[in-house]
Chains A and B, each alone.
Chain A
Amino acid sequence: MGARGTAVAASALGALALAAGCGPQEPRIEAADATVRVPLNPDVTSAYLVIENTGGADDTLTGVETEAADEVQMHESVEKDDGTTGMEERAEIPVKAGETVEFASGGLHLMLMDPEELDAGETVPLELHFAESGTVEVQAEVEDVMGEGGQDDGGMDDTGHQDMDHEDMGDMDHGDMQH
């Protein structure tokens, strides 16, 4: 599982690097570590990924599509003044030159409306539409919410993405503590 996930992620990363423009004054988009949660409620699920712009110009994520869901919305979980946590839809996400944008739980996330039935371990393609770079595709791995879709084997850490070694990644390895 881990080996396959790594291979998929690595090849996707390579393809994206080639597909994106490489001039110094152009954005260069790399997307990696994409995951989709197994839908728990048939109406909706979430997806997460990391987008990095290693180029020399800004870009903007303007929308996301996937064959695995009717619609993909870009949302951000925000804490509101009344103490509630809600979600705000984002029409555009800036990905400035040299910046990394992380879609992660508690912040930005993709919301997949009316998703297909998805099983842990499958991959689904996400099409990321950028204002400058056009469409960038990334393969997202379907993961169980309890992390049984490839996290407990350290799959998140072996994708070669240097930004992924957060201190909070420690909690990715809890899979084996479920007993």
Chain B
Amino acid sequence: MRRKMCAAAGAAAAVALLAGCGGQAATGDGDSPYNGSEIEGAFTLPSTEFTDNKGEPYELKADSAGTYTAVFIGFTNCPDICPTTMADMSQAAGMLDEAERDQFRTVFITADPERDDPELLDMWLGSFDPSFVGLTTDLEKTDATAEELGISVSRPEDRSGDYQVDHGGQTLLFDPEGDSKVMWSYGTEPEKIAEDLETVIGEDA
């Protein structure tokens, strides 16, 4: 859990990440009311059909409606970035009070559906927080979803042996209507995430 980036570098990286996002309509700058970048309405959860980690159907927009939903795209063979991010989200959720936590959910979408089936996702996510939702679908819908959310995904042509999937390291927070609110870059401290969650949930309370 040790992090290379200190808090200041993390904040700088958040800005750098935005700049690197290729013209996505993210507005995070010094004016952001959050520790993360403000991305108010820049992205909307698509109505894509997934299968969740319990093997049940999960329609991303409809089944996330009514809660604040953090979305991260990764894969379980990812040894470093993905587990660290999930651990951070779990720690952040643990800092919320019960009422806030009831309005918040973390969704992990696999960028590697050929290897990550619901069973593996369930086992993997259970290491962090049994309440986390893991979603899988086919490659085409996976990539379309990633594109809708402005998260880059790139996997090798040859996927026969051990391979790694490159993916954006950011986590996006959506409001209960499925509109984006905040983006946290990789390495954002759990306290900062929790603060933002409290702010966002408090805004509408």
Contacts and interface: CB of A to CB of B under 8 A. Distances in A.
B59 interface: no
A105 B4 contact: yes
B87 A147 contact: yes
A82 B81 CA distance: 17
Contacts of B169: 79, 84-85
Interface stretch (B31-39, B90-98, B174-182): B90-98
Which of B2, B91, B151, B162 has the most chain A CB within a 10 Å cutoff? B2
A146 B87 contact: yes
A178 B80 contact: no
B21 A83 contact: yes
Interface in B105-159: 120, 123-124, 127-128, 151-154
B127 A46 contact: no
A43 B80 contact: no
Interface in A122-179: 143-147, 151, 156, 166-169, 171-172, 174, 177-179
Contact of A168 (B3, B76, B153): B3
Interface stretch (B48-56, B60-68, B183-191, B197-205): B183-191
Interface in A54-98: 75, 77, 79-87
Contacts of A13: none
Interface in A31-56: 37-38, 40-41, 43-46, 48
B28 interface: no
Contacts of B87: 145-147
Given A109-B79, A171-B191, A41 B124 contact: yes
B190 A102 contact: no
Interface residues of A, number: 46
Contact of B187 (A40, A106, A179): A106
A12 interface: no
A164 B87 CA distance: 21
Nearest to B90: A146
A107 interface: yes
Given A83-B17, A85-B167, A174-B190, A40 B5 contact: no
A10 interface: no
A111 B79 contact: yes
Nearest to B164: A87
Contacts of A178: 90-91, 94
A151 B3 CA distance: 14
B30 interface: no
Given A40-B76, A40-B124, A168 B189 contact: yes
13 contacts: A41-B120, A44-B77, A82-B152, A82-B166, A86-B167, A105-B1, A106-B5, A106-B84, A111-B79, A145-B127, A147-B1, A156-B2, A168-B6
Given A41-B77, A75-B80, A143-B1, 6 more contacts: A44-B79, A77-B81, A87-B166, A111-B79, A147-B87, A179-B94
